[in-house]
Amino acid sequence: MSKNSHFSTKSVFGQLISLIDESLIRKEVKKCDSDRYTKRFKTKDHLISMLFCSFSKCTSLREISGAMLGLSGKTAGFQLSHIPKRSTLSDANKKRDVLVFENIYHGLLMQYGRFLSDSRIQHVIKKQVKIFDSTTISLFKDILEGVGRNPKTGKKKGGIKVHTVINADETVPGLVWFSEAKKHDHEFLDKLKCDKNTVYVFDKGYNDYKAFEHFTEQETGFVTRIKDNASYINIEALDLGEHIHSGVLKDEIIEIEVKKGKQTTPLRLRKVVFYDRAGKREFEFLTNLFDMRADLIAALYKIRWQIELLFKQLKQNFPLKYFLGDNENAIKIQIYCVLMVNLLLAVIKKRLKRHWAFSNLVSFCKIHLFNNINLMKFLENPEKDWIIDRDDGKQLSFNW
């Protein structure tokens, strides 16, 4: 048998962890003072343990602690100093400030954001398109108040709502906020940064006329769907040119009233009605982009589906059904570590010339987490070490 050409001195886990710059961790640990009063289980050990949880899809503290005990002699690639006991990891998740994990994630995003971005959308629109939405994660107990009616049993599970902003040309979250599931989405619109080179796209759950007025005053574009019961006055019907997509049924200027205490002020916006032949549905879009083509307004809203795919990707591939702590801090730490793992795997996927489905990439890394396989070489050419036995053309063998 010939020597395996995919061998690496580092495990797959070590290669993935090496994408996180040591200096970034040290900088954020110092900035947040997250190792204060900590003798053994430092922030880096905590981070690696929680990343291990996300990569291996562990569902309990006992599972993490037990699995990591078998790492003796395998930690050189990622310099793990202390393997935690179940109680140690539980205490760290409860007491260590989530801010250090948040900052490390944003540091990784700054490092790899440009690499992950696709500039084609910005090239067409001439502005940065950002998508804003939220997803609710059910919790096993009432840590954060859930949404909806109380069940007949009187017991109601908690829920955490993750509000997320992504650039339309990227596949990872840029900004993340957390709230109780019962909190209304539109309350987070004031957290968005406004500038004339940005267009926000969001669904009608974020309808807020005061926010729309603020966007308009700040010359920040937005595209959303108008509510079914919206009250407005038709001001002017705009001409539909021959070059406009035939799915555009109406393009008109409308006026809404923005309530400010006892007073109201008028705000002019644009309404575009579009018929989707594939879904056989009619959509009414609301925007303050008066100079953009009507069919491009509809195309912008269609881009919003990317964030739904992101939420689906996170929930299907990572352990967000099982949380390792019964407190808000532990839950947020786990979510940020999942976002880090999602980002690292997105970087690997982007670097590959060969196509891999994201779910297959996650599964491969989980199965081979501590095998010494050169990750990039193997993913580029996984069949390389498989040869057909010349004596028996039907038999395949793998050369290790």
pLDDT tens digit sequence for 324-343: 888 889 989 999 999 999 99
**Top-confidence range, 68-77, 85-94, 313-322, 383-392:** 85-94
Per DSSP, what are the bridge partners of residue 283? 274
pLDDT (0 to 100) of residue 3: 55
Q: How far apart are CA 237 and CA 347, in angstroms?
A: 47
Q: Which amino acid is at 86?
A: R
Q: Which residue has the tokens 């596949």?
A: 171
Per-domain residue ranges for the chain?
12-100+325-386, 203-303
- Residue 274 carries which side chain, given as an amino acid letter? F
The total number of residues written for the chain in this structure: 400
Bridge pairing between strands 128-138 and 198-201: parallel
Residue 57 identity (one-letter amino acid): K
What are 287-310's pLDDT values in tens digits?
Answer: 999 999 898 999 999 888 888 888
The mean per-residue pLDDT over the stretch 194-211 comes to 89
State the average pLDDT over residues 159-178: 83
What are the angstrom distances between the C-alpha of 190 and each of 95, 206, 213, 225? 29, 11, 12, 19
Alpha-carbon span 48 to 53, nearest angstrom: 9
pLDDT band at 219 (very low <50, low <70, confident <90, very high): very high
Write out pLDDT tens, residues 233-259: 999 999 888 788 888 999 999 999 998
Q: List the structure tokens of 336.
A: 């940020």
Say if residue 152's pLDDT is above 60: no
Tokens standing for residue 120: 């084609």
Residue 261 has pLDDT above 90, yes or no: no
Widest distance between CA atoms in the chain = 90
In the predicted model, what is the mean pLDDT of residues 371-375? Answer: 89
Looking at residue 216, the DSSP 8-state letter turns out to be H
Measured between alpha carbons, how far is 196 from 222 in angstroms, rounded to an integer?
A: 11
Distance CA 108, CA 19 (A): 9
List the structure tokens of 77.
């690639």
Between the alpha carbon of residue 331 and those of residues 188, 218, 338, 369, the distances in Å are 20, 35, 11, 24
| Cβ neighbourhood burial of 12 (10 Å; 0-12, 13-18, 19+) | buried
The Cα 193–Cα 31 span in angstroms is 24
The string of pLDDT tens digits covering residues 58-80 is: 888 888 888 887 776 677 667 78
Read off the tokens for 24.
């970034």
What pLDDT does residue 23 have? 95
DSSP state of 383: T
b/e 164-182 (16+ beta carbons within 10 angstroms → b): bbbbbbbbbbebbebbbbe
How high does pLDDT run on average in the chain? 83
pLDDT tens-place string over residues 99-115: 999 999 999 999 998 88
Q: 291 CB contacts (<8 Å, ≥6 apart)? A: none
CB atoms within 10 A of CB 278: 6
Phi, psi of 175 (to 5 degrees): -120, 140
Identify the helix (H) or strand (E) that includes residue 128. strand 128-138
Q: Worst-scoring range by mean pLDDT, 73-77, 132-136, 200-204, 246-250?
A: 73-77
Residues 6+ apart with CB under 8 A from 304: 131, 133, 201, 202, 203
Instruction: Give helix 358-367 / helix 328-351 axis angle, nearest 10°.
Output: 110
Q: How far apart are CA 348 and CA 15, in angstroms?
A: 10
